[in-house]
Amino acid sequence: MGQIVLMDEPLSNKIAAGEVVERPASVVKELVENAIDAGGTSIEVRLEEAGLSSIRVTDNGKGMDTEDALLCFSRHATSKIGNEHDLFRIRTLGFRGEALASIAAVSKVDMQTSDGESGGCRIRIEGTRLVEQEPAAYRRGTDITVSQLFFNTPARLKYMKTIQTELGHSIDYMNRAALSHPDIAFRLVHNGQEHLRTSGSGNLLKVISDIYGPGTGRKMLAFEGESADYEVSGYCALPEVTRASKNYMTVLVNGRWVKSYAITRAVIDAYHTYLPIGRFPIAVIDIKGDPYLTDVNVHPAKQQIRLSKEPELCALIRDAVRRAVSGAIGAPAAKPPKEARPKTEQTSLWHQRERENRVMPENGKTVYQPASHSPEVRVENHETSDSGAANGNSLPFPATEGQVQHSETRRQPTAQIISDPPVGKEETDTPELVDGPEVQEQQLEEGHTRKVPFGELEVVGQIHGTYIVAQSTDGFYLVDQHAAQERIKYEYFREKVKRADGNERQALMIPLTFHYPADDMERIRELRGTLASVGVEMEEFGSRTFIVREHPAWFPAGSEEEIIDAIVEQALTERRTDIGKLLEETAILMSCKRSIKANHYLTRADMERLLHDLGQAESPYTCPHGRPVIIHFSTYEIEKMFKRVM
C-alpha cells in the first residue's frame, strides 16, 4: 500500500495558515485589505487583548450576498482575478484567495454582511467548520469578528510576544494602511481606547501629522518625479528629524505597502552627507506605475514584490528626494532637552491568556519610541565625526507605553541640538492629537531651518577651543569648527578627486604592505580591476599579502596607507562596487583626517577665514557624516529663555 495520502481539508488549512496568519496583526492586515478592496471609505478595527481575544473589522464597502459569503471562506476563492492574464494586472491588495480560509482555520469567525440588495446574512465558523448560517438584517458593508485566535494551535499561541509588542505590530500596520490610503477614514481601538483616527480627507500630510504629530508634520518636505514608466511623490523629513531605524520609511507601490531594500537605500542616498551615521529619515514614498511592471505574487504576505526597471526607479526617487532636501537645508534652531520617561514592565500574552481576569494596564497611552541614546551637543571626539547609532526597535509607529523602554538622559544646562528631536505632548498622546483641532496645511508647510547670512556674521569668540560663537542681527550662531572645516575640505577633495588624472601616480620608495584573511583575499582578487580604476594597484605578495608600489598623486602625504586601507574596506563591504562611491568615501576620509580638531584654539583671523570659507561651501550646514555644522539661536528664543517675552 502506498505511503503518500492526501491531507484532509482542515489539516491542510492549518498548515497553510502558518504562512498567512503569523500573529494578530496578520489577521488585521488581511481583513483591512479586504475592506479596502471592497471599496470601503470608513474602516474601524477593534481589538481586545492585542487581538488575541478578539479582532473586529467593520467597513462600509460593497458587502456580499449569502452565496459569496459562504464561498469566501473556501481556499482559493476570490473575486479579484478570473484567469492567468489577470495575474499580471493586479490592482487590488488581495488576490490569492487564502486569507479568510487561513484565518477561519485557526480561530472562531462571526461575520455579518450585506450587499444592500439581498437583505444580508450572518455566518459563524469555528476552525473551518460552519456552525451557523442565518439571514440577518444589516446595512451595506461587512462586520467580521475573529475571536480566540490560535485556540486550536496552542504551540503558536504560546510563542506570542507581550501584549504591547503584539499591539505594536497592529498599530504599525494600521498606520501604514492610513498612509497608503489617505482618502479612507481609519479608526483603531484597543480595549476601548482609541489609538488611531484619520479623517479620510485625502490629505497625506494630515495623515502623517496624525501619526507622528504636528511637530513632525511641519518638518516634512514634499517631493515628486516622473519618468516614462513611473510617477513618484510623497514626503520626506528635514535632516534634523531622524530615527534610529529604517522602518520609518514607508514605501507604497500602487497603494500597497511593500518592503524594498533598494528603494529605502535610494532615499538614504538622497540625504547623502546630511544624516548622522546610524540615523535614518522619516519618509513616505508613493509609487504609481503600470501593474505589468510589478510582480506581487512573490510571498503570501505580499510585502515583497519585484519591480521592472528598478534601477531607473531608484534613480528617479533619489533625484526627487535630493531636490527637496537640498533646497530646504539650513541651520537648525536649538532646542531644550526633554527628560525620558521611566521604564515600565511588559506583560506576557501567554501568561496573560492563562489568567482568568485578562486586563490591560489602565495607562494605555500611545507614545513614540525614542532612540536609545540621544547625542549631546558636547563633542567628546571630533576626529571620528561619528554620532553613534542608537538601537532602534523594529516597530516604527506608536505602541503602548509598556512597549517602550526609555533610556535615562541628563538634563543639560544649555540648549542642545538633538538628531532625534524630543517629542512633546503633541507627538506622544495620539488620542489628544486626533481629537484636537485639525492641522492646517499652511501651518504644516512652514520652514524650520534658516539660511545663514554668512556675510553678516561677526565673530564673538570661541568656546572650549571647539565652538566658534558668531552674531548677527537675528541672534547668534554656534559653529562646530571641526565639522565646518570638514565640510570645506570635503568639497575641496571631492572636486579634486573628480578632476584627478588616474594615470598621474606617485611612486613609493618603500612599498606599502597589506595583510588580509583568506576570504578577503579572494574578494580582493575579484576587485583588483575596480581598485585599479581608482588608482590603487594591488599586487599579490605571498599567500595573504598585497603590496602597493604607487598611488594616485592626489593622495595627501602621510595618509596613503590609511586611505588605501579604507578604500579596500569600502570595496569589500559594499554589495555592489561603485567607483564613484569609493572616490566619495576617499574624499570624506581625507577631509576628516586633515581638519582641525576639538580643543584647538584659533585666532580671530582664523575664525573669520573659516566662516568665510564655510559660506562659500555648496552645503554648509552639515559635515560629510551628517552632523550639524551650525546652530542658530534667534533673538526671540534668547529673550524667551530669559523670560523677557512670554
Would you state the pLDDT for residue 561?
A: 84
Residue 364 lies in a domain: no
Mean pLDDT of 406-417: 37
Q: Are residues 60 and 165 both part of a single domain?
A: yes
What's the pLDDT at 200? 94
The reply to whether 490 falls in a domain is no
Q: Is the model more confident about 493 or about 270?
A: 270
Q: What is the mean pLDDT of residues 188-196?
A: 93
310-315: Cβ within 8 A, 24+ apart: 310/262, 312/227, 312/229, 312/230, 313/227, 313/229, 313/230, 313/232, 313/263, 313/287, 313/289, 314/262, 314/263, 314/265, 314/266, 315/266
**Phi-psi category of residue 203: left, alpha or beta, with phi > 0 → left and psi -120 to 50 → alpha:** beta
Spatial distance between the Cα atoms of 268 and 281, rounded to a whole number of angstroms: 7
- 316 in the same domain as 464: no
**Is residue 92 domain-shared with residue 111, that is, in the same domain?**
yes
Q: Which residues contact 575 (CB under 8 A, 6 or more apart)?
A: none
Lowest-confidence range among 7-16, 176-185, 380-389? 380-389
Same-domain check for residues 471 and 532: no
Selected residue with higher pLDDT from 396 and 442: 396
Mean pLDDT of 495-511: 76
Answer yes or no: are the C-beta atoms of 256 and 302 closer than 8 Å.
Answer: yes
User: CB-based contacts of 111: which residues, under 8 Å, 6+ apart?
Assistant: 69, 122, 123, 124, 125, 142, 143, 144, 145
What is the three-state SS of 243-275? ECCHHHEEEEECCEEECCHHHHHHHHHHCCCCC
Residue 387 has pLDDT above 60, yes or no: no
What average pLDDT does this structure show over 584-598? 77
pLDDT of residue 54 exceeding 90: yes
CATH number at residue 253: 3.30.230.10
* % of the chain surpassing 90 pLDDT: 30
**pLDDT for residue 564:** 84
Q: Who has greater pLDDT, 646 or 233? A: 233
Same domain, 315 and 235: yes
Provide the grid cell at 385: 565625526
- The arithmetic mean of pLDDT across residues 625-641, rounded, is 87
Domain boundary among 328, 346, 380: 328
Residues 28 and 50 sit within 8 Å (Cβ to Cβ): no
Q: What is the mean pLDDT of residues 385-401?
A: 40
Which 3 state secondary structure label does DSSP give 351?
helix
Least trusted range by pLDDT, from 163-167, 292-296, 475-479: 292-296
| More confident call, 391 vs 594 | 594
More confident of the two residues 227 and 11: 227
Residue 377 has pLDDT above 50, yes or no: no
Residue 409 lies in a domain: no
- Report the CATH number at residue 472: 3.30.1540.20
Residues 216 and 114 in one domain: no
Of residues 364 and 539, more confidence is placed in: 539
Q: Which residue has the higher pLDDT, 523 or 603?
A: 603
Beta carbons within 8 Å of 349's beta carbon, 6+ residues apart: 49, 50, 52, 157, 160, 161, 162, 163, 166
Tell me, yes or no, whether 435 lies in a domain. Answer: no
- How would residue 518 be classed by pLDDT, with cut points 50, 70 and 90? confident
For 143, other C-beta atoms within 10 Å of its C-beta total: 20
Higher pLDDT: 271 or 412? It is: 271
Domain contains 511: yes
Cβ(309)–Cβ(364) below 8 Å: no
Helix (H, G, I), strand (E, B) or coil at 195: strand
DSSP 8-state symbol, 310: H
Percent of the chain at pLDDT above 70?
Answer: 73
Q: For residues 284 and 213, state if they share a domain.
A: yes
Q: Please check whether residues 232 and 98 belong to one and the same domain.
A: no
Let me know if residue 333 belongs to a domain.
no
pLDDT, one tens digit per residue, over 211-222 is: 988 888 999 999
Residues 64, 170 share a domain: yes
Out of 123-132, 245-254, 337-346, 624-633, pick the least confident.
337-346
Q: How do residues 304-315 score in pLDDT, each as one tens digit?
A: 778 888 899 999
Q: Which residue has the higher pLDDT, 188 or 260?
A: 188
Q: Poorest-confidence range of 195-209, 583-597, 610-624, 632-646?
A: 583-597
Residue 288's nearest CA partner among 216, 227, 367, 197 is 227
Which of 176, 195, 214 is the C-terminal boundary of a domain?
195
Confidence of residue 95 (pLDDT cuts 50, 70, 90): low
Residue 136 and residue 180 in one domain? yes
Asked if 109 and 67 sit in the same domain, the reply is yes
Which ranges in 534-622 belong to alpha helices (H)?
560-573, 579-593, 604-615
CA–CA separation, 58 and 44 (whole Å): 5
For residue 579, give every residue at least 6 positions away whose Cβ sits within 8 Å of its Cβ, in sequence order, or none: 530, 533, 534
Confidence of residue 299 (pLDDT cuts 50, 70, 90): low
What are the φ/ψ torsions at residue 142 (nearest 5 degrees)?
Answer: -140, 140
- Say how many domains are in the chain: 4
CATH code for the domain in which residue 534 is found:
3.30.1370.100
The residue behind cell 537675528 is 474
Q: Which range (240-244, 562-566, 570-574) has the least confidence? A: 570-574
What distance lies between CA 38 and its chain's CA centroid?
29
Under 8 Å CB-to-CB from 480, ≥6 apart: which residues?
A: 379, 382, 466, 467, 623, 627, 628, 629, 630
Show the domain range for 241. Answer: 203-328
DSSP H helical ranges for 43-109? 66-71, 99-105
- 374 is a domain residue: no
Domain-ending residue, one of 164, 195, 226: 195
Asked if residue 417 has pLDDT above 60, the reply is no
Backbone angles phi, psi at 121, to 5 degrees: -150, 165
For the ranges 31-45, 122-136, 555-569, which has the lowest average pLDDT? 555-569
Confirm whether 393 is domain-assigned: no
Mean predicted confidence (pLDDT) in 60-88: 77
Higher pLDDT, residue 56 or 355: 56
What lies within 8 Å, CB to CB, of 171 at 6+ separation is: 188, 195, 196, 366, 395, 397, 398, 399
Which pLDDT does position 88 carry in this prediction? 62
Cα distance between residue 465 and residue 480, in whole Å: 10
Question: Do 70 and 140 belong to one domain?
Answer: yes
CATH of the domain at 159: 3.30.565.10
Q: How far from 183 is each of 59, 179, 251, CA to CA, in Å?
A: 14, 9, 17
Q: What mean pLDDT, rounded, does the chain reach? A: 77
Least confident of 99-108, 141-150, 330-339, 553-562: 330-339
